[in-house]
Structure 1
Amino acid sequence: MSRLVRHLSEPIAPITAATRGEVVYEMFGDDDDLLALPIVDGDRPIGLIPRDAFFLKMADRHGRALFAKRPVSFLMDKDPLIVEEMTPVSDLNRLIVTKRPGALMDGFVITRNGAYRGIGTGLALFTAVTEESEERNRKLSALATQLSHSRLQALSAAQVKSDFLATMSHEIRTPLNGVLGISQLLLETDLMADQEKLARTIVDSGEILLRILNDVLDFSKLEAGKLDIEPETFALSRLADEARNLWSVRAGEKSLDYNVTCEGGDDQMIFGDRVRIEQVLFNLIGNAIKFTDQGAVNVTLSISTATGGRLLLRADVRDTGCGIPQTAQSRMFEQFSQADVSTTRKHGGTGLGLAISRRIIEMLGGTIGFESEENKGAHFWFEVALGAVSRSPELPAASAATDASPTPAPLRVLVAEDNIVNQQAIVGLLRLRGINADVVGDGQEALEAVQNRTYNLVFMDMQMPVMDGLQATRAIRDLPSTAAMTPIIALTANARREDEAQCLAAGMNLHLAKPVKKETLFAAIDRLASGQQSSEPLARTA
């Protein structure tokens, strides 16, 4: 609490205006600590005699002769600074600095409701201000310490949260890889129509679970400010092809007319974060298909010239679905928000997709929005300024590889995986490409295997008993034989960017996150089998 003027008060006994100068001289002489004397009329202050000013006058050539026998009314300051005792010291300090700086030397009179209460001095004011400043500093220091502790606790909590999410991601992805892997294998067998429908339902449900998992992880990274932006060079036509190939099957299952078109140069090379742009575009397309039961979903990608020689990428996604009620439109980009908030909502989902999309587009310096009417469909769009690249269009992405383009020569492949179900899934998917793989259950066995037999490729899990995948990779790279050059692909449930960086730093060539689709798996095989490395990222399995 701020100090008051009464805390500065020194209860000096006042004198009257008739008191003679010689009496005052003796009073000051007897008390070296007496800095000022108040003069009152009754209990009302009428003047002040500052010690220094009084002695200067008395020391004048004729001072003692002139003032010793005279009343102090001839010597006193008839207009001293008078301050009520309940005035805050901060207000007094401001008053003296701005209007009465002389009061610092002469002192001031303190009153209560106009009646004399005591004397205040510059020394007392300075002491009070210093003590208050020290007290404030102590409080600020204590607050800083508390905030430091709170920050450490928050960082610790954030780390615990990050570790928890990473662990949960790993533990969910591992069995999910088995579910989706075995389901893909099941779909490659001769099934009756009902059986195929059930198998596809398993795949669809697993992919929905994977999207939810990815949304939660992405949102956590956004909240922590750790979502990375990694630009690369790519063609607009590639973005259109991937949007067309990925979602045409899903749209076909609902008998929707699904179209993806490019306007303004589909062969234009652009520079930006393709992965994040695809993430937003695919979220908008997925929503459009989800909320459209009949009619069409039309996607348009266009390029135009922006300021500063940059290019403006615009994506428009229009559907003929259920639309968005007016009452829900204001919260569509809020986290955990959906148009239908009832517990029996038809379409499900976390309500994070659009919130994440907005944050990503804003991170890229762009804008995102929508237009919609209930029962009349919706139109979502975003715009992002990207760099232009002047070179020939890139070759078709490796991710376009399918079963119809087998590897020219038989490959010897080693799979290092400790989970039995995941062993079955990866071995089964490789068999679809005519590859019979050897399987080991830990990194130590993988190290021994590459020394005993020549392999064209190794799939390496990260977390395994005895020796993990990172240790095994480093050990393989340190071998004195040609086995040290064996291409290694991380096939792991550790799906974060930092996990990918760890794998590449350990000497792996590529990183694939579980659960992995067969198309992505085959693309990785084709890339490394043809001598390519990790110069261009594969399509993410998320």
Structure 2
Amino acid sequence: MDGDNLHHASDRQRTAFAPEALARMLSVSTATLARGRGIALDVSVLTGTPPRLVGDAETAGALCNALAASAIASSGPGRLDIRLSALPAGDERVTLRAELTGRFDTQGESGFGQELAGRLLAALGSRMTVEQEADGLRRAVLDMPAALPSRATDAERLMNWARARGGRLLVVDDSATNRLVVAGLLAKAGFSVETANGGAEAVEAVSQAPVPPEAVLMDVAMPDMDGLTATATIRRLGDERARIPIIAVTANALPEDRVRCLAAGMNDYLTKPVRRAELLGALERWLAPQPA
């Protein structure tokens, strides 16, 4: 399949998505499988990759998961690395590339290539190559069609989206200053914002309010009940409130902090000091469109 066909075949179901969010999802969804086989899986986005792309995000996520799961299933204990990037492909089109490197098997009935081939054939517009490296490692390259956002700046586009959508949000932070800053950024973008000064108050706001917030911006380190505990408590509510998007907004910026937040049930992860475009980008990823 040539480059033009590669992109035209996947012009369906085009939505905006963030490669960073895709990497986080991939890391969390494969963590248990990797640990079970003694594999250290590192997923990252290469420097210079656009912060947002447009494409069939659902298929891209499914294919990246298939790539990682197949490599893990055909590897012994060791390390696997996945790097996401975007390559120019003419006009505003790009190729979203997932490049996996490690010591995985490509032979046998359940081997890497055999297992993944059927999934790729069913996903029109994508392709994969596997190469043997000189140092004994193998490199699998999965190319998927995508495009850059419109020529309007991302900040302008996000503001337009926020003003058109609106909605009710809950900002949780034990610092009054941080609450005011984040709430102010979101209010100026057109959202209705409520605040909570700790995890316990956040749980009450979600579980007891007649109409719960549509999303929660959650600090992590708080004295009464931390954000991880509050998130886990909300996820155990047992109704639609348990599925409210929760986005970490935290000063804890280490990779293991990110993993802990996502493992606790948070949907996304932002580090302080946070900018309005980052807040709006995360909300756009997780808030369903307003009904017409």
TM-score normalised according to structure 1 size = 0.29
Residue by residue over 1:254-280, the C-alpha shift from the partner in whole angstroms, topping out at 9 and shown as x without a partner, is xxxxxxxx977574425358xxxxxxx
- Seen in structure 2, the aligned counterparts of structure 1 residues 268 and 440 have a Cα distance that, compared at 3 Å, is closer
Measured against aligned partners, the alpha-carbon deviations of 1:420-468 in whole angstroms (never above 9, x if no partner) come to 1111110110011111311111100000110122110001100112110
Structure 1 residues 137-152: aligned runs within 5 Å: none
Is it true that 1:461 corresponds to 2:274 in the alignment? no
1:423 and 2:176 aligned: no
Q: Distance in 2 between matches of 1:418 and 1:526?
A: 25
The SS at the match of 2:217 is: strand
- The answer on 1:445 being equivalent to 2:258 is no
Tell me the amino acid that sits aligned with residue 275 of structure 2: K
**Matches of 2:161 and 2:217 in 1, distance apart?**
21
Say if 2:149 is the partner of 1:396: yes
Partners of 1:439 and 1:464 lie apart in 2 by: 14
Seen in structure 2, the aligned counterparts of structure 1 residues 452 and 399 have a Cα distance that, compared at 3 Å, is farther
- SS of the residue aligned with 1:413? strand
Q: Is the 1:232–1:271 contact (alpha carbons within 8 Å) kept by the matching residues of 2?
A: no
Relative contact order: is structure 1 or structure 2 higher (C-alpha 8 Å, sep ≥ 6)?
A: 2
Q: Using the TM superposition, give the Cα deviation of residue 390 of structure 1 relative to its aligned residue in structure 2, in angstroms.
A: 3.8
Deviates more, 1:489-498 or 1:475-484: 475-484
The letter of the residue matching 2:245 is: P
Q: Which secondary structure state, in structure 2, belongs to the residue aligned with residue 402 of structure 1?
A: helix
Match of 2:192 among 421, 436, 440: 436
In the other structure, the counterpart of 1:482 is: 240
State the match for 2:95 in structure 1: 269
Q: Residues of 1 paired with 2:170 and 2:213: CA distance?
A: 7
1:496 shift after superposition: 1.1
Indicate whether 1:528 and 2:283 are aligned.
no
> Is 1:498 the counterpart of 2:251 in the alignment?
no
Identify the match of residue 274 of structure 2 among 505, 513, 516.
516
- CA apart distance, 1:411: 0.9
In 1, distance between residues paired with 2:247 and 2:282?
A: 8
Percent of paired sites with the same residue: 34
From the superposition, tell whether residues 430 and 270 of structure 1 become closer, same or farther in structure 2 (CA, over 3 Å): closer
Larger C-alpha radius of gyration, 1 or 2?
Answer: 1
| Cα distance change on mapping 1:466 and 1:393 into 2, 3 Å | same
TM-score of the superposed pair, with normalisation by structure 2: 0.51
Letter in 1 for 2:201: E
Contact kept in structure 1, 2:97 and 2:144, CA below 8 Å: no
In structure 1, what residue type is equivalent to 2:199? G
Deviation at 1:530, TM superposition (A): 3.1
Is the Cα contact below 8 Å between 1:440 and 1:446 reproduced in 2?
yes
- Secondary structure, counterpart of 2:204 in structure 1: helix
CA contact (8 A) 1:462 1:470 kept: yes
Q: CA deviation at 1:399?
A: 5.7
Show the counterpart of 1:281.
none
Residues 217 and 249 of structure 2 are in contact (CA less than 8 Å); yes or no, is this contact kept in structure 1? yes
For residue 230 of structure 1, the aligned residue among 28, 43, 47 is: 43
User: What SS class does the counterpart of residue 252 from structure 2 fall into?
Assistant: coil
Is contact 1:413-1:436 (8 Å) kept?
Answer: yes
Whichever residue aligns with residue 509 of structure 1, its letter is N
Q: 2:230 aligns with which of 468, 472, 485?
A: 472
Distance 1:263 1:479 in 2: 45
User: CA 1:263–1:406 in 2, change beyond 3 Å: closer, same or farther?
Assistant: closer
3-state SS, counterpart of residue 162 of structure 2: coil
State the shift of 1:413 in Å.
0.5
For residues 230-249 of structure 1, the aligned pairs below 5 Å read 230-231=43-44, 238=50
Give, in angstroms, the shift of residue 407 of structure 1.
4.9
Shift of 1:519: 0.8
Matching residue's letter, 1:230: V
Equivalence map 1:318-397=2 (5 Å): 388-394=141-147, 396=149
Q: Note closer, same or farther for the CA distance 1:387–1:484 as it changes in structure 2 (3 Å cut).
A: same
Matches within 5 A, 1:88-107: none
| 263 and 443 in structure 1: CA distance in 2 versus 1, 3 angstrom threshold | closer
Distance 1:395 1:530, change over 3 A: farther
Task: Name the CA shift for 1:506/1:518 in 2 (closer, same or farther; >3 Å).
Answer: same
Which sections of structure 2, spanning at least 5 residues, go unmatched?
1-40, 54-86, 100-128, 132-136
In the comparison of the two structures, how many residue pairs are matched? 177
Q: Could you say if the C-alpha distance between residues 416 and 233 of structure 1 is closer, same or farther in structure 2, counting changes exceeding 3 Å? A: same
Give the residue type in structure 2 aligned to 1:435. F
By how many angstroms is 1:406 displaced?
Answer: 2.5
* Whole-angstrom distance in 2 between the partners of 1:240 and 1:528: 14
Query: Which structure has the highest strand share of the two?
Result: 2
Deviations 1:472-495 (A, max 9, x none): 000000113321111100011111
Q: 1:407 to 1:229 in 2, by over 3 A?
A: farther
Any residues of structure 2 matched to 1:11-160 within 5 Å, and which? Answer: none
Deviations 1:215-235 (A, max 9, x none): xxxxxxxxxxxxx95246999
Q: Which amino acid aligns with 2:43?
A: E
Deviates more, 1:449-458 or 1:469-478: 449-458
Amino acid at match of 2:206: V
Q: Distance in 1 between the 2:273 and 2:148 partners?
A: 27
Which amino acid in structure 2 is aligned with residue 460 of structure 1? M
Normalized per residue, the structure richer in helix is 1
Q: Deviations over 1:162-196 (max 9, x none)?
A: xxxxxxxxxxxxxxxxxxxxxxxxxxxxxxxxxxx
RMSD of Structure 2 on Structure 1 (CA): 3.8
